[in-house]
Amino acid sequence: MPRIVPPEERQFALVLALLATEQGLTKEQILSTVDGYHQKYAADGDNANLERQFERDKDALRELGVPLETVDAPGQSGNNQLQSYRVSKGDYELPDDITFTPTELSLLQLAGTVWREGSLSGDMRRAMIKLRAAGIEPDGSMLGYAPRLKQLEPAFAPLTQAIERRETVVFPYLRPGRRLARQHTIKPLALFQFRGRWLFMGLDAVPLGAREHRLTFLLSRIVGDVVSTHERFDAPPGDHSAEALAELEKLWERNTATVAVEPGSDAAIRLGRRYGGTTADGRLLVVHYSDLTLLADELAGYGPEATVIEPDELKLAVLSRLEATEWAHREPGSEAPAARSPQPSEGDA
**pLDDT tens-digit map of 73-107:** 776 666 666 788 888 766 656 666 666 676 666 66
- The per-residue pLDDT for 116 is 45
Mean pLDDT of 292-315: 92
d(CA 271, CA 286): 9
Radius of gyration of the chain (CA): 23
* Amino acid, single-letter form, for residue 328: A
Q: Which residues of 14-47 are buried (b: 16+ CB within 10 A; e: fewer)?
A: bbbbbbbbeebbbbebbbbbbbbbbeebeeeeeb
Q: How many whole angstroms separate alpha carbon 259 and alpha carbon 274? A: 13
Mean pLDDT check: name the lowest of 47-51, 151-155, 169-173, 284-288. 151-155
Exposed, middle or buried by CB within 10 Å (0-12, 13-18, 19+), for 308?
A: buried
Q: Spell out the domain ranges in the chain.
A: 7-144, 156-239, 255-328
Over range 244-250, report the average pLDDT. 88
Select the highest-mean-pLDDT range: 125-129, 156-160, 183-187, 266-270: 183-187
pLDDT at 329 over 60: yes
